[in-house]
Amino acid sequence: MPSLTRRPAWQRRSDRFRHPAQVIAAGFAAAVAVGTGLLSLPAATRSGERADLVDALFTATSAVCVTGLVTVDTGTYWSGFGQAVILLLIQAGGLGIMTLATLFTVLLSRRLGVRARFLAQAETKSLSLDDVRGVVRRIVLFSLTTEAVVATVLAVRFATRYDESFGAALYDGVFHAVSAFNNAGFSTRADSLVGYVTDPWINLTVAAAVILGGLGFPVVFELARAWRRPATWSVMTRITVAMTVALLAFGTVVFTLAEFSNPETFGPLDGPEKLLAGFFASTMTRTAGFNSIDIGALRPESLLASDVLMFIGGGSAGTAGGIKVTTFGLLAFVLWSEMRGETDVNVGRRRVPTSNQRQALAIALLSVGAVVGATAVLLAITSYSLDVVLFEVVSAFATVGLSTGITGSLPPEADLLLVVLMFAGRIGPLTLASALALRDRDRRFELPEERTIVG
């Protein structure tokens, strides 16, 4: 007979955070709160005055959620201390709050409990609890090594080609390397990377960092082990690689053709430079946030293509946002199987579980709902057109950071809405939904089946 004794309040509160998703959401929220507090200090601004609370909150959320949208210019508004805070928030957000916490636990105690492993597994998307400690080490090592290599290449280029001092070139190289690998899109330049639109060293280096960070750690590790044996790749790696290549090619072709004669974007460039700018734009819409051309001058077809690419995003367990290429690719396989009348969804020689299919559908529908709802609200409280507002909303939710230039002129209530979108987009719609649930509910019976008309 169940006990009727009411449990203590502290025990009931602890039950609310048993699910890893809840702890992850709380961890990101705590990081945003700390970042907001630090950016609110007078020392964080060049003027020595306290930043507006909404600006501090917006910037901290954008940094932790590796988005890149800003209400104030990063290079001129924030001081060296403020920029350092932003850089640390980007790094923390990219690696994941739970990943960092797990690393610190390993370093301090050399022990990792089952609960801590489970939390780290949820953040790193590792498939085995026993591998979490090694996975976290490899994630940190891979991230820092990649950022160091990218920073070196950029610093050398800034110093030798653009006559920057050694200190300035090194600082800019490190800042843009961390921002690129973590798909954040923050830049110390007011116009992002527009001044380097014809420079393949900077464009391709930044693009490579973005792609590596956006592929996802499990995919990168598997490719490193078995890049010569595609037949042995997992379903996630197969879908991620195939969709990444396809979407990069699609975006490059669309941007190059659509903007080929646009005098405000690709028009002044020669043939190879147009192709370089098209590839860079295609890469950045995969949630990176840098831009080498004026986003506000893009033609409508380019804005629409950007919306699609931003919404899809990058790989799972990486630093990219969006619904993820694995979600989009899995839904494409579901559609293909349904059109062929097959009962199972197969990728290569593997069958995809029904639970994965439901998860992909849930993420896609929740994301569509969030984008449509936020777009309707922003249209109601601002005077901007649908294409501009939709671009801003998708950019925030997919943690991209690209903007047509309206972010700084939005009213405070619109900024707060974008903050919510960035937060929800970073931790994931399904993760957020499960974090709000107090417990899992298992149905102990099945109802009679009845088919309905669909379509």
pLDDT digits (tens, 9 = 90+) for 221-232: 889 888 888 888
Give CA angle at 441 (437, 445), nearest 5°.
Answer: 160
The string over 348-383, giving b where at least 16 C-beta atoms fall within 10 Å of a residue's C-beta and e elsewhere, is eeeebeeebbeebeebbebbeebbeebbeebbeebe
Contact 50, 40 (CB under 8 A): yes
pLDDT number for residue 349: 79
Q: What are phi and psi of 108, to 5 degrees?
A: -85, -40
Complete DSSP assignment for 26-46: HHHHHHHHHHHHHHTSGGGBT
Domain count of the fold of the chain: 1
Q: Binning pLDDT at 50, 70 and 90, where does residue 140 land?
A: confident
Q: Minimal CA–CA distance to 309: which of 294, 296, 297, 325? A: 325
Q: Is the pLDDT of residue 62 over 70?
A: yes
d(CA 128, CA 112): 14
Q: Decide if 453 is inside a domain.
A: no
State the average pLDDT over residues 158-173: 95
Please measure the distance between the N-terminal and C-terminal CA atoms of the chain and give it in whole angstroms. 48
Strand-strand pairing, 350-351 and 346-347: antiparallel
pLDDT at 119: 59
Residue 393 carries which DSSP code? H
- Average pLDDT over the chain reads 86
Q: What is the rounded average pLDDT of the residues 436-452?
A: 67
For helices 200-215 and 132-161, what crossing angle results, to 10°? 170
Model pLDDT, residue 120: 59
- pLDDT given for residue 21 in this prediction: 67
Residue 6, domain member (yes or no):
no
| Whether the predicted pLDDT of 360 surpasses 70 | yes
- Is the pTM higher than 0.85? The answer reads yes
Answer for the pair 125, 135: CB distance below 8 angstroms, yes or no.
no
How many degrees, rounded to 5, is the angle at CA 439 between CA 433 and CA 440?
80
| Residue 321 forms part of a structural domain | yes
Q: Is 132 within the bounds of a domain?
A: yes
Asked whether 148 and 176 are in contact (CB, 8 A), the reply is no
- Structural domain boundaries, residue 308: 17-436
Residue 318 clears pLDDT 60, i.e. is over it: yes
Q: Which residues is 45 bridged to in the sheet?
A: 78
449 located within any domain: no
The listed range with the strongest mean pLDDT (90-104, 325-339, 422-436) is 325-339
Flag whether pLDDT at 248 surpasses 70: yes
Among candidates 364, 359, 435, 436, which has minimal Cα distance to 397? 364
Residue 123 has pLDDT above 90, yes or no: no
Contact between 306 and 390 (Cβ < 8 Å): no
| 142 backbone φψ class: left, alpha, beta (φ>0; ψ -120 to 50) | alpha
Reply yes or no on whether the pLDDT at 95 is more than 90: no
Q: Which of 27-36, 346-355, 422-431 holds the top average pLDDT?
A: 27-36
Question: Measured between alpha carbons, how far is 316 from 152 in angstroms, rounded to an integer?
Answer: 27
| Window from 206-220, 369-383, 401-415 with minimum mean pLDDT | 206-220
Reported as a pLDDT band with limits 50, 70 and 90, residue 435 is low
- How high is the pLDDT of residue 33? 96
Distance of alpha carbon 61 from alpha carbon 36, whole angstroms: 8
Q: What share of the chain in percent tops pLDDT 90?
A: 60
Task: Please say whether the beta carbons of 224 and 215 come within 8 A.
Answer: no
The pLDDT value recorded for residue 125 is: 56
Q: Name the pLDDT band for 131 (thresholds 50, 70, 90).
A: low
User: Quick one: pLDDT band at residue 18, thresholds 50, 70, 90?
Assistant: low
Closest CA to 284 of 192, 186, 210, 181: 210
User: What is residue 10's predicted lDDT score, i.e. its pLDDT?
Assistant: 45
Average pLDDT over residues 46-54: 95
Query: Per the domain annotation, does 454 fall within a domain?
Result: no
Report the pLDDT value the prediction gives residue 1, as an integer from 0 to 100.
Answer: 47
Q: Which amino acid is residue 245, in one-letter code?
A: V
Q: What is the mean pLDDT of residues 299-314?
A: 95
pLDDT at 12: 52
Whose tokens are 């709902």? That residue is: 369
437 CB-near residues (< 8 Å, 6+ apart): 19
Tell me what the mean pLDDT of segment 158-164 comes to.
94
Question: Residues of the chain with pLDDT > 70: what percent?
Answer: 84
Token digits of residue 140: 């940190």
Answer whether residue 251 shows pLDDT above 90. Answer: yes
Whole-angstrom distance, CA of residue 130 vs CA of residue 112: 10
Q: Which residues pair with 78 in a beta bridge?
A: 45
Separation between Cα atoms, residue 321 and residue 61, nearest integer Å: 14
Among 67-76, 422-431, 440-449, top mean pLDDT goes to 67-76
When pLDDT is cut at 50, 70 and 90, the band that residue 134 belongs to is confident
Task: Please check the confidence at residue 182 and state whether its pLDDT lies above 50.
Answer: yes
Structure tokens at 216: 């996802």
Q: What is the pLDDT of residues 31-43, one digit of tens each?
A: 999 999 999 999 9
Please indicate, yes or no, if residue 43 is contained in any of the structural domains.
Answer: yes
445 inside domain: no
Nearest to 301 by CA among 387, 390, 376: 387
Interatomic CA distance for residues 115 and 314, integer angstroms: 29
Average pLDDT over residues 44-72: 95
Q: Is the pLDDT assigned to residue 444 strictly greater than 80?
A: no
**Counting every residue, how long is the chain?**
455
List, for residues 190-217, the tens digit of each pLDDT value: 999 999 999 999 999 999 999 999 888 7
- What count of other Cβ atoms lies within 10 Å of the Cβ of residue 227? 11
